[in-house]
Amino acid sequence: MINDKGKNNVISMDASDKLNSCTINFYGNNNLIEIGKGCKIENIIFTFYGDNHRVILKDRVTLYEGAIVFEDSNNLLEIGEGTLCFQHLSIAVVEPARKVIIGIKCLFSNTITIRTSDSHSIIDNGTGQRINLGKDIIIGDRVWVCEKVHILKGANIGSDSVIGTCSVVTKGNYLNNSLLAGNPAKIRKSNISWLAERIYG
């Protein structure tokens, strides 16, 4: 279902794509959804508040269920080729000119939250300045995100890493091949990799 309350909003997709039970809400202008070849998108609600937002899904991305929300203007969500996300995915790209970049062949378990902003303002009473501005989120290639993980503004997660169940990843740079866990998440082990297949012995 498409609910377009704006102007010049575009959905671009390939004949090989499968979109089932999705809702797309446009409440602004000049927004774009660009879907690569062989994507499978089910039960996703896309909501665009504001103008000039972009969703770019590379080839063979699979999203099973969740909500993707844009606010303000000029924001970007890009998900790399072959990435798979299971149920209860929540992505909020909020505050002007913010971006969420997810690399290729990532694996996201259930109930993952990704947010570029706290949405509300925290003010330093001494200076009168806001101290919690929104920041970009970058997730490298082949990152395995386990169940019930929160990835918050300013997180930069290196490729071939694993984020343990119920972790909260806050701002900072996390090196490639890291095992992250905890609240707040910390590097628990370095020089690791992972496989989708189970290995015994």
Does a structural domain hold residue 199?
Answer: no
Rounded to the nearest 5 degrees, what angle is found at the Cα of 6, between the Cα atoms of 119 and 22?
Answer: 75
Does a structural domain hold residue 116?
Answer: yes
CA-based max dimension of the chain: 59
Domain that holds residue 43: 2-189
Does a structural domain hold residue 46?
Answer: yes
**pLDDT at position 77:** 98
Task: Count up the domains in the chain and report the number.
Answer: 1
**pLDDT at position 185:** 97
Consecutive sets of 10 residues in the chain, 201 residues long: mean pLDDT of each? 96 94 97 97 98 98 98 98 97 98 98 96 94 96 98 98 98 96 97 91 68
Residues in the chain: 201
**pLDDT at position 200:** 85
Q: Which helix (H) or strand (E) holds 12?
A: strand 10-12
Q: Which helix (H) or strand (E) holds 47?
A: strand 44-49
Does a structural domain hold residue 83?
Answer: yes
Q: The CATH number of the domain where 14 resides is what? A: 2.160.10.10
3-state secondary structure of 148: coil
**pLDDT at position 186:** 96
**pLDDT at position 197:** 87
Q: How far, in Å, CA of 86 to CA of 84, rounded?
A: 7
Does a structural domain hold residue 49?
Answer: yes
**pLDDT at position 198:** 85
Return the number of other C-beta atoms located less than 10 Å from residue 54's C-beta: 19
Does a structural domain hold residue 201?
Answer: no
Does a structural domain hold residue 198?
Answer: no
Does a structural domain hold residue 132?
Answer: yes
Cβ–Cβ under 8 Å, residues 72 and 50: yes
**pLDDT at position 144:** 98
**Segment 80-114, tens digit of pLDDT:** 999 999 999 999 999 999 999 999 999 999 999 99
What pTM did the predictor assign? 0.95
